[in-house]
Amino acid sequence: MSFLVVARSGRARAGILETPHGPVETPVFMPVGTRATVRGLQPHELEDAGAQILLANAYHLFLRPGDELIRDLGGLHGFTTWERPWLTDSGGFQVFSLDDLVKVTDQGVRFRSPVDGIYHFLEPEDSIRIQNNLGADIIMAFDECVRLPAEAERVRRAVDRTILWARRSRDAHRREDQLLFGITQGGTDPEERERCTRALLEIDFPGYAIGGLSVGEDRAAMLRTVEQSTEMLPEDKPRYFMGIGKPEDLLDAITRGVDMFDCVIGTRNGRNATLFTSEGVLHMRNRKFMRDERPPDPACDCACCRRYSRAYLRHLYKADELLALILGSLHNTHYLVQFVRRIREAILNGTFPQSINSPGGSGS
């Protein structure tokens, strides 16, 4: 298990991350399969879209169907039949998003399950044990994420806990065939972000995620924090920006030296008739597409764009047909995966960024 940077263009870089289930070529966009499935898409469709690695969430799988059941049925790879790499999130963000259902202490988090109302107490050791059972190739340390804007004292306490829990996560990790990444926090406060990053570097994780962004801050502050973070993170280890997926954000983060990304925006937008295309964002319920015989994106070779017209896709959305949700999710997943792949190829060819068209605007 190793990471090698093979080409650079400014701060942008192309690399290869070796895992037990095959290499991951970076930069890479990882479709989100929260409950061990990318909603609406089968494994072979994800493979056709070019997906190299999927993300699942330890919190959701702990609640249902249970991490021990998945372990007994072959881990995520055997359970889902996705034999390429998996990454699991620690569940920290999902737990803290419950707000009034959560009580946080330095020991861990007490929360009430939204599935059955039962109370659970989750410690860093529990999160790691769950992820060890799930068997993903890459797992994440337990951390505390704060919604922004937040008071300085709230950010400081979250950084304290994130550092404490990172050490406990490292000590609890039991599998040598899983890469454990640390997650930096600190909001957009430069001093707190630096304090957290320095402390995690001392623990010496094999990879680092930039967490606690895209949670309410303005875009300029987000990009400043990304730039600060990548300047501090090691050159020989992968950098993962958690939870962004808009094409313009992916491009700007890669330009600043980030390697890995995940977001639900592709499938979520696809279910809501919003498609990313080389011509900008298309809102497929728009009346102007009623007689439009062109594919959703003439520059795209996904199964949706190879076969169907904008007029037909609009009809499916207007009629609330299930096929619309599937085709929209398939196209957006393909678009985001291939958009990042094209950036990688441009870095390798020495034509980045000039050969990459800026993503379209808000669309029509």
Q: What pLDDT is attached to residue 114?
A: 82
* 183 and 245 belong to one structural domain: yes
Q: Does residue 204 carry a catalytic annotation?
A: no
Q: Tell me, yes or no, whether 307 and 246 share the same domain.
A: no
Q: Which phi and psi angles does 241 have, rounded to 5°?
A: -95, 115
Q: Are residues 308 and 196 in the same domain?
A: no
Could you tell me whether strands 179-184 and 138-140 are parallel, antiparallel, or unpaired per DSSP bridges?
A: parallel
Task: Give the pLDDT confidence score for residue 361 in this predicted structure.
Answer: 52
| 225 and 294 together in one domain | no
Tell me whether residue 11 is in a domain.
no
Same domain? For 240 and 284 the reply is no
pTM greater than 0.75 (yes/no): yes
DSSP character string of 335-361:
HHHHHHHHHHHHHHHT-TTTTSPPPP-
Answer yes or no: 262 catalytic: yes
Q: Is residue 334, in this structure, part of any structural domain at all? A: yes
Asked whether residue 127 falls in the same domain as residue 46, the answer is yes
Q: pLDDT of 305-353, one tens digit each?
A: 999 999 999 999 999 999 999 999 999 999 999 999 999 999 999 999 9
Q: Provide the CB-side half-sphere exposure for 179 (13 A, CA).
A: 25
In a domain, 183, yes or no: yes
**For 242-265, how does the pLDDT look when each residue is reduced to its tens digit (9 = 90+)?**
999 999 999 999 999 999 999 999
Number of domains in the chain: 2
Task: Indicate which CATH number applies to the domain containing 43.
Answer: 3.20.20.105
67, 89, 126, 259: the catalytic one is 89
The boundaries of the domain holding residue 195 are 26-263
Nearest-CA neighbor of 263 among 43, 96, 89? Answer: 89
The answer to whether residues 312 and 235 belong to one domain is no
Q: Which of 126, 249, 259, 262 is catalytic?
A: 262
Report residue 4 as tokens: 């090698």
Residue 160 in tokens? 């304290």
Among the three residues 263, 293, 324, which one is the final residue of a domain in this structure? 263
Residues 241 and 294 in one domain: no
- Residue 16 forms part of a structural domain: no
If asked whether residues 66 and 206 sit together in one domain, one would say yes
98 and 56 both lie in a single domain: yes
- Pick the last residue of a domain from 237, 263, 289: 263
Rounded distance between C-alpha atoms, residue 86 and residue 132, angstroms:
12
Residue 360 lies in a domain: no
Residue type, 274: T
* Residue where one domain finishes, among candidates 213, 240, 263: 263
Residues 253 and 291 in one domain: no
Residue ranges in the chain whose pLDDT is less than 50: none
| 305 in Cβ contact with 277 (< 8 Å) | no
**Residue 128 and residue 73 share a domain:** yes
